């Protein structure tokens, strides 16, 4: 039975310089050569994840779960799964964040929008390697957003989680994807739901699926996969439910996990 390896990107595979280690690249190629599956699952925009992976591997060959599970992409087929927030919920979230003078950006049709040309959107755009668009009113965009992101101090965002959950009233998921990022995504979309959908679509066994992650958004994948691996820099919530805690992303925790658990892929 084939194994499937699922990798989160930021904070897991990528280091703080946004680099994809060469050793991890070789492992991924070895997995494919062995006839096993590789999936990338990220909170990033699809266009950002796809560009990054094409820059590393030189071609479009991987299934990608993006937007924390709201979008699934397959090479040759394109998007096979897409979810969006409903407009009323989006408006409530945008108003809530505006009132608290918190940076808010939305993702509509795989494009990035903000009402302010501020440091937050500039830094995010540079990190994700995508353009951004400044508009007068995020609520005036013609299509519903795939995701809304609040950017701010970690402690400030932590205090917003429960009030936001109350506001969305079960119609969206609210969680951290990074210490300074608070994600609001459709309630029927997370990395776990997306991974289950992909497993059914591609006919791979979740009990033979190994996932790597670092943050709260990865817990959903950990709940459905056969084996869960957290990097040392992961949040405590994730490490508590991990089967193995590796070294940090700065120390190439993915490589350490393979050397320890799956050395056949590192030769």
State mean pLDDT over 98-106. Answer: 96
Q: How far apart are CA 212 and CA 195, in angstroms?
A: 13
Q: What is the pLDDT of residue 267?
A: 81
Tokens 């917003």, residue located = 160
State mean pLDDT over 94-103. Answer: 96
State mean pLDDT over 112-127. Answer: 94
Q: Is 157 helix (H, G, I), strand (E, B) or coil?
A: helix
Quickly state the pLDDT bin for 115 (edges 50, 70, 90). very high
Q: Which CATH architecture has domain 4-82+189-265?
A: 3-Layer(aba) Sandwich (3.40)
Mean pLDDT over the full length of the chain: 96
Cα-only R_g, the chain: 18
Burial class (CB in 10 A: 0-12, 13-18, 19+), 6: buried
pLDDT digits (tens, 9 = 90+) for 146-175: 999 999 999 999 999 999 999 999 999 998
Q: What is the pLDDT of residue 221?
A: 96
Q: What percent of the chain has pLDDT over 90?
A: 95
Q: How far apart are CA 228 and CA 193, in angstroms?
A: 16
State mean pLDDT over 170-195. Answer: 92
Domains of the chain, residue spans: 4-82+189-265, 87-186
Q: What is the pLDDT of residue 177?
A: 81
Q: What is the pLDDT of residue 8?
A: 98
Whether 192 and 214 have beta carbons less than 8 Å apart is answered as no
Instruction: Give the global pTM.
Output: 0.93
pLDDT, greater one: 65 or 267: 65
Q: What is the pLDDT of residue 260?
A: 97
Q: What is the pLDDT of residue 176?
A: 87
Q: What percent of the chain has pLDDT over 70?
A: 100
Quickly state the pLDDT bin for 179 (edges 50, 70, 90). confident
**Which conformational region is residue 35 in: left (phi greater than 0), alpha (psi within -120 to 50 degrees), or beta?**
left
pLDDT digits (tens, 9 = 90+) for 27-78: 999 999 999 999 999 999 999 999 999 999 999 999 999 999 999 999 999 9
On the question of pLDDT at 99 being above 90, the answer is yes
CATH of domain 87-186: 3.30.1240.10
């Amino acid at each position: 039975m084939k194994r499937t390896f699922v990798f989160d990107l930021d904070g897991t595979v990528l280091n703080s310089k946004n680099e994809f280690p060469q050793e991890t690249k070789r492992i991924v190629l070895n997995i494919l050569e062995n006839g096993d599956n590789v999936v990338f699952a990220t909170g990033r925009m699809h266009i950002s994840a796809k560009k990054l992976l094409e820059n590393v591997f030189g071609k479009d060959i991987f299934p990608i779960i993006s937007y924390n599970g709201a979008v699934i992409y397959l090479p040759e087929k394109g998007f096979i799964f897409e979810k969006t927030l409903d407009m009323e919920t989006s408006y409530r979230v945008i108003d809530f964040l505006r009132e608290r003078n918190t940076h808010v950006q939305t993702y509509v049709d795989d494009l990035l929008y903000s009402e302010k040309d501020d440091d937050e959107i500039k830094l995010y755009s540079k990190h994700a390697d995508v353009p951004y668009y400044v508009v007068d009113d995020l609520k005036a965009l013609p299509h519903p957003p795939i995701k809304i992101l609040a950017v701010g101090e970690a402690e400030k965002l932590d205090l917003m989680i429960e009030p936001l959950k109350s506001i969305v009233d079960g119609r969206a998921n609210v969680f951290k994807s990074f210490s300074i990022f608070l994600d609001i995504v459709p309630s029927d979309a997370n990395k776990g739901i997306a991974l289950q959908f992909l497993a059914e679509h591609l006919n791979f066994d979740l009990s033979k699926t190994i996932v790597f992650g670092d943050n709260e958004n990865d817990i959903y994948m950990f709940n459905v996969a056969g084996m869960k691996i957290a990097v040392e820099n992961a949040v405590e919530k994730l490490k508590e439910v991990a089967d193995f805690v590796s070294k940090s992303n700065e120390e190439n925790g993915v490589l350490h996990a393979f050397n320890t658990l799956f050395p056949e892929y590192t030769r």
